[in-house]
Structures are given as structure tokens and as C-alpha cells.
Amino acid sequence: MPAFDDLKRRIQSGEALVGIIGLGYVGLPLAHALHEGGLPILGFDIDESKIVALKEGRNYLKHLGPEMVQSLSKSRRFSSTTDFSRLGGVDVAIICVPTPLGKHQEPDLSFVLDSARAVGRTLRAGQLVVLESTTYPGTTRDDMVPAMLGARPKGAGPLVCGKDYFVAFSPEREDPGRKSHTTKTTPKLVGGVDAASGELATLLYRRAIQHVVPVSTAEVAESAKILENVFRAVNIALVNELKMILTPMGIDVWEVIEAAATKPFGFMPFYPGPGLGGHCIPIDPFYLTWKAREVGRPTRFIELAGEINTSMPHYVVDQTARALNDHGKAMKGARVMVVGLAYKPNVDDVRETPAAEVIDLLAEQGAVVSYHDPLVPAFPHMRKHKKDMKSQALTPETLASLDCVLIVTNHDVTDWKAIAEYAPLVVDTRNAMKGAQGRARVVKA
């Protein structure tokens, strides 16, 4: 197979030009890792501001630090563009675009299909196309490939998958803010729509990633990613439910989890919180729920976990009202500061953050709400929530003037000591005040 042999040689020699489509949380670190692996990279994005930032060496994803963008922008082996006609020149195209849910909780594959069509317009023999966006099993073979082929210009000669061009799925396991693993050190699953495609994609990722794990098909790789995220959603729901049972019994769920985690096998700790956030855990499981209808099966674990996890902001606000009441205060008119707007610690990402709903629920009940998040200085524009709010500093005067601090996200940089020292009442959904000493009354919720 000349196309296979030629692409294999180009990947192994480091000549293969890799196009990364979508330069966000996933695509940018991946571009960096493959670049470090010695390959030339051409980044594509529809967002012109990202391309300008990359050209100027300006970082647009805080948690990555400035070095990543600076090193790429200085390199002769990296460039980026909004001109998708240049896709014809790449040897490999990797798609890292969003996969959100639509209005009715249905998968929204429009970004993936737009990218597939962009690749299809210039598809030629000797190209490998890899989808990294999280999605339901079957997307790569049954949705992406037909969209690609459907966009080929009339009169373009026939191309055979697995012989002339190659297609694979490789799920992204990026966990922004995690210090223990990087793109390079996180094992990577790869599944081809055929054996030749799987082999080429495996060779490609081995240039940059320490441990690449080939699986038999693209569908196995797609399903494995969904399993990982369903596993998290279900286990988080389980500990959230336990929290709501153990708290009224006067038992500290965090201490219970730490105690159970001393078992060296058969247990893995998950922690309760104010509700799910981010682009993955609240969304991806429902991709499977939608697909499962095709085989007439309900996804009961996913639905139940969704129900429990989405009720958590309500639970947390109810607990706050109770804590204020015990303190001789009504929620109406109470000055409540939400600490942490991002959906998880040490990132500035607010996608699907439960903090936005918590703020809405507090305001609905008449609280005067402010927030503090050193990583999110102003309330960003969000699809469902629009607010004119700015992060407030944690000064002794501000803290003392509040009726309650409600901890939603525990960034390392937050001044917990000041909160413990000056706030009168703290409702803590993250066990962030563990060990902090001061005059504040702390209620875990």
C-alpha cells in the first residue's frame, strides 16, 4: 500500500505535517506535545483571536502558563491559521473541537461535522484523520467519515479508507489544572476504523506520548472514554447522596471517605461537592444515553447520577439558608459571598460551573450576592447566565461585613486563613476549611 508506506515513513522520520483543528483546552496542549515530539504543526481554529494570540506569543489559557504558547510561537515548526483550504497540505488532521449538548440534551455534533467537511474538501491519498472530541460510540465511522466523503468535490477520484486514507479515534484525557500528569505522561488510547489506520495513528502518538494503548476499533476507544466519564459521574453522585444522608446523622462524609480510602484495594475515593461542572462530566454521559435509544435500552445509572448531581446546587443553597437561620439571619437580605466561580480548583474555566446556579438560587431567595475568584476577575459571558459582577478582594473589612461565605471551589491560592479569621459564618462544600483556625463558624454542606 503506497499511501500507507509513505505516511508511515513520514511519521517515523518526523516529516509528517500535523494539522490540529481546534486550539482550545485539548488542542493546544496536544499541539505542544506533538511539536515536542519533533513534528511540524499547523494549527487551525475558527476563532481568529486565538490565531493572533499564538502569533504574538500570548497565552489565552491561564492554567497552561505562558511558556507553552511562547515556545510554539517562536518555533519554525509551528504556525496557525483560519484558512481551512490549507488542510490539503497536512499529512495528519486531528480534530479537537467541542461536543456540547443541544437544547434537548441531544448530542450536538455540528462542530465535529463542520471540521470533517473542512477536511473532506481537500482529502487526498496519504492523509490520516483522527477525531479526539469526546462522543458516543460509532461517531467516527458512521458520522464523521460520511461527512468527510460527502464534502469531497464532484469529480474527485475514489479513495478507499484503510488503503488510500486513514481514520482513527483517540480520546482526550486532558485534565486541566492537574499537576501529576501532562499530555505526554497520560496513557493514550487509539482505535482505528481499520487495522492500517490504527497502526498509523499509534505510530503518530508514540512520537509524543509515553504510553500509547492501541485498541481493536474506533468504537472501543470511543466507548472507553464514555465509560471513564460515566464512572466519574456515577461515583460523584454516590458520594453526594451519602453526604446528604450522613450529614443529618452528624457524620462527616469527608472523614468517612478518607477512612474508607485506607483500604489498599477495591476502593477509590471520590469527593462530594456543590454539583458538576466543566465540559465533560455533566455532558458526555448523555451522549451515551442518546445513543442507547438505538438499541432500546435506558441508561438508568447515568440518569440517576444526573438527577442527584444536578440537584446539588439546590441542596447547598438550602443548607446555606439553614446555617444562616441557625445564626439568627434570614436568607432575604443576607450578604453572601460565593468563593470560587470556576468549576474546579486551579483553573479559570467556568463552563457549566455550579457556582453560576448557586448565585442565581441565592439571589432568587433575596440574598445580596458577591463572589471571590482570583482566577476569574469578572463574571464571564455564559450561555445561561449573564451577570455584571466582579471578583471582590478578601479583605478583613469585606469578610467581616458578610453574613456568610459559601465555598464552591477551592483554588490553592485562596486565602483560607483570612476567611477563617474574619468571616462570621462559612458554608463549605469542598472541605476547604479543614484545619483552618479562626473565629468563623464552619458548616460543611
User: Per rule CB under 6 A, is residue 27 in the interface with ligand NAD?
Assistant: yes
From the list 136-144, 168-176, 216-224, 238-246, the region that binds ligand NAD by CB under 6 A is 168-176
CB 177 → ligand NAD: shortest distance, Å? 9
User: Per rule CB under 6 A, is residue 44 in the interface with ligand NAD?
Assistant: yes
CB 111 → ligand NAD: shortest distance, Å? 4
For ligand NAD, the closer CB: 174 or 428: 174
From the list 25-33, 248-256, 383-391, 394-402, the region that binds ligand NAD by CB under 6 A is 25-33
Using CB positions, name the residue nearest to ligand NAD.
Answer: 24
Pull the grid cell for residue 111.
462542530
From the list 44-52, 149-157, 179-187, 312-320, the region that binds ligand NAD by CB under 6 A is 44-52
User: Per rule CB under 6 A, is residue 228 in the interface with ligand NAD?
Assistant: no
Query: Exposed/middle/buried for 155, CB within 10 Å: 0-12, 13-18, 19+?
Result: exposed
Span 108-137, contacts to ligand NAD by CB under 6 A: 111, 114-115, 133-134
Vertex 110, ends 117 and 160: CA angle to 5°? 30
Nearest to 273 by CA among 299, 301, 310, 307: 310
Backbone angles phi, psi at 431, to 5 degrees: 60, 30
d(CA 213, CA 231): 20
CB 46 → ligand NAD: shortest distance, Å? 5
* 280 belongs to the catalytic site: yes
Number of Cβ within 10 Å of residue 159's Cβ equals: 17
| Contact call for residues 336 and 319 (beta carbons, < 8 A) | no
CB 438 → ligand NAD: shortest distance, Å? 34
For ligand NAD, the closer CB: 40 or 176: 176
User: Per rule CB under 6 A, is residue 97 in the interface with ligand NAD?
Assistant: yes
User: Per rule CB under 6 A, is residue 280 in the interface with ligand NAD?
Assistant: yes
Nearest to 79 by CA among 47, 24, 41: 41
From the list 32-40, 169-177, 302-310, 330-338, the region that binds ligand NAD by CB under 6 A is 169-177
Nearest to 444 by CA among 307, 277, 276, 257: 257
What torsion, rounded to 10 degrees, do the Cα atoms 429, 231, 99, 78 define? 90
Among 176, 214, 273, 275, binds ligand NAD (CB under 6 A): 176
Vertex 269, ends 276 and 234: CA angle to 5°? 45
User: Per rule CB under 6 A, is residue 98 in the interface with ligand NAD?
Assistant: yes
User: Per rule CB under 6 A, is residue 25 in the interface with ligand NAD?
Assistant: yes
CB 94 → ligand NAD: shortest distance, Å? 11
Backbone angles phi, psi at 94, to 5 degrees: -115, 125
**CB contact set of 325 (below 8 Å; sequence gap of 6+):** 331
User: Per rule CB under 6 A, is residue 99 in the interface with ligand NAD?
Assistant: yes
Active-site hit among 96, 161, 280, 404: 280
| Contact call for residues 87 and 44 (beta carbons, < 8 A) | yes
Taking the mean position of all CA atoms in its chain, how far away is CA 364? 29
For ligand NAD, the closer CB: 24 or 438: 24
For ligand NAD, the closer CB: 24 or 126: 24
User: Per rule CB under 6 A, is residue 53 in the interface with ligand NAD?
Assistant: no
Q: Exposed e or buried b for every residue in 396-432, given b needs 16+ CB within 10 A?
A: eebbeebbbbbbbbbbeebbbebbbbbbbbbbbbbbb
**Residues taking part in catalysis:** 280
> What residue ranges bind ligand NAD (CB under 6 A)?
21-27, 44-47, 50, 96-99, 111, 114-115, 133-134, 172, 174, 176, 279-280
